[in-house]
Amino acid sequence: MTRSAGFSARFRLPLPISGPLHGGGALARSVFGLLNQFVPIPSSDWEESRMGKLDGKVVIVTGGGGGVARGMTIALAKEGADLSIVELRADRGDEAAREVEKQGGRVVSIACDVSRRDQVDAAVAETLDHLGRVDVLVNNATGVSLATSNLAFMDHGEADFDHILGVDLMGSFHFMQACFPHFKNQGGGKVINFSSGAGTERLAGYVAYASAKEAVRALTGVAAREWGRWGINVNAVCPAAMTVGMKSFVENHPDPDFEKKAYGDRPIARLGDPEQDIGRVVAFLASAESDYLTGQTFWVDGGGSIHA
């Protein structure tokens, strides 16, 4: 593991989410318990099912120290990938890297503010220095926090937009531009951008976050059209709320009925698992199995957006 000492330490709460994760108090916690009691996360022996579909591939994951991303990086490592974990907080990145190391692959932890193009360029260069190449980019970093959650349209300020757009949209844009020459020169690559149902559902109280995540989908589609000629696939993932990292949002959200309203009527009525549910989809999109897919959005939400 390495750490770039010159990178900014500007604090950003790196919440392990990519969608509207909210709820409140005992009621929401009881809803979680009921959902997972009646529709449990399927058990499986990952070691028996691993295919090694990413053997020899180098994957950059931004926001890689968060809960959802941590499960995702473990899933990628189990498929044979070497990981570059990019995280604003170096301690979180290093902790995630130690977990990935247990899978036997190579890993580098890089501190980086994704809204800063100079730091993004340095992070890609450091990945190349330590891992030799880059095959897959997963743009997962988000700037959403409790401070900008459930905030009325008229209460959003320019600073809220600047921060979330800087991390979610411009962070993805910066990394895509920085990785593109390497993908082009080696004859292909994969980009997986994280969007959110907050955008597709036009979720009230999240105008900055929803706007940024819908812009990420537009970014995905335009790049897919332009880059397909070079064998570069660009897709987006819209995940539902995950099990990891939910408690603080649940316990602090002002609407005690939000989780019941948002997740109680899903066809698959349980919260998702970062490794098994999100990780496997990302591993598929990172692999050769998805070579004929580009410009698409994949909703991984237990059927919550069947109507979308």
Task: Find the Cα–Cα–Cα–Cα dihedral 8, 210, 73, 249, rounded to 10°.
Answer: 90
User: Which pLDDT tens digit goes with each residue over 288-298?
Assistant: 999 999 999 99
User: Which pLDDT tens digit goes with each residue over 259-305?
Assistant: 665 566 778 877 778 898 999 999 999 999 999 999 999 999 888 78
pTM above 0.85, yes or no: no
**DSSP for residue 272:** B
The pLDDT assigned to 16 comes to 34
State the average pLDDT over residues 178-188.
98
Sequence-ordered list of residues with C-beta below 8 angstroms from that of 189, at least 6 positions apart, any chain: 134, 135, 136, 137, 179, 182, 183, 231, 232, 233
The pLDDT assigned to 26 comes to 42
CATH architecture of 25-40+51-300: 3-Layer(aba) Sandwich (3.40)
- Which residue is it, tokens 């991303």? 69
User: Which pLDDT tens digit goes with each residue over 4-35?
Assistant: 433 333 323 333 334 443 333 443 344 344 44
Q: Are the C-beta atoms of residues 93 and 87 closer than 8 Å to each other? A: yes
User: Which pLDDT tens digit goes with each residue over 152-174?
Assistant: 899 999 999 999 999 999 999 99
- Which residue is it, tokens 């220095």? 129
The C-alpha atoms of residue 41 and residue 277 are separated, in whole angstroms, by 9
Active site residues: 209
Break the chain into its structural domains and give their ranges. 25-40+51-300
Q: Are the C-beta atoms of residues 150 and 22 closer than 8 Å to each other? A: yes
Q: Are the C-beta atoms of residues 263 and 197 closer than 8 Å to each other? A: no
- Which two three-digit tokens encode residue 282? 């990302």
Judged against a pLDDT cut of 90, whether residue 146 lies above it is answered with: no
Sequence-ordered list of residues with C-beta below 8 angstroms from that of 271, at least 6 positions apart, any chain: 32, 35, 36, 240, 241, 242, 243, 246, 263
